[in-house]
Amino acid sequence: MTTVTSAPASGSTRRRPRARGWVPDQHGAWAMVSLPLVAGVGLSGPVPVHLALAATWLLGYFTFYAAGKWVRSRRSRERTPTLVYAAACGPFAATTALAAPHLLRWVPVFLPLLVASLWLTARGRERSLANDAITVVAAGLMTPVAADAGGLALGPQVWVATGALTAYFLGTVPYVKTMIRERGRTVYVRGSVAYHLLGTVGAALLTAGGWQSWLLPAVWLLLTARAWAGPAANRRRARPLRPAVIGAGEIVASLAVTVTVLFGLPAGP
């Protein structure tokens, strides 16, 4: 997942519930978890089942986060958040399934992604590019799921929005790494810039095909500039930017991309 994490302060590990797996500390992930869902709701129009779906997704994310902590630590005390969140998620998941049983067809899509991510986490690869990509794809799929819940046929508009948003969030993976865990590593910066250049080309092709406005490639050009300038500026600082600050920037950028994609879609089915 697009992670922007913060380490607990020295001596606070036992006191802070976040350290025990209750509160996700991946600041930048909040946008990735919520905005694809919001996009799907916006495409189909809100219906009552979206409330149950949103609760299921959010509590499912908490369960997934806590389960990752449990799998990594293998400590029995880390089990409690997982079980509590899973129990809280259950009634909302059941309500969603009863109200919109056709959504159960998405279970076989998400299950392999869940298993693969937990498998990587259990092997200490929770911060790997592969695991981040898996979680980004899972989050991006909430756009068609939410649109499906709202009764919208999954036509080209839905998949263009899904692809555009997922491509953006995949780009945040190398970018955030260049700002935190891989700070100062030129190979990551070059890879991030190259990815964003490809994203700009892809956005331009969508615009040429009439699927997006010119604003999308313009936004991708800005993201490409950020992919180069952000790590360069952060490397020159006496102290690197705090993860919370980077995460806040990701939320702003994610909102800008989501609004651009939704308003850039052509009218009609």
Q: Say what the pLDDT of residue 268 is.
A: 62
The full set of domain ranges for the chain reads 19-153, 155-269
Written as tens digits, the pLDDT of the chain (269 aa) is: 445 444 444 344 444 444 456 777 776 688 999 999 999 999 999 999 999 999 999 999 999 988 888 888 777 677 889 999 999 999 999 999 999 999 999 999 999 999 999 999 888 888 888 999 999 999 999 999 999 999 999 999 999 999 999 999 999 999 999 998 888 889 999 999 999 999 999 999 999 999 999 999 999 999 999 999 999 998 888 788 888 888 888 999 999 999 999 999 998 65
Question: What's the angle, vertex CA 215, arms to CA 262 and CA 257, rounded to 5?
Answer: 50
Q: Say what the pLDDT of residue 234 is.
A: 87
**Both tokens of residue 250?**
């990701």
Q: Say what the pLDDT of residue 203 is.
A: 98
Q: Say what the pLDDT of residue 27 is.
A: 67
**Both tokens of residue 49?**
């089942």
Residues 6+ apart with CB under 8 A from 45: 150, 152
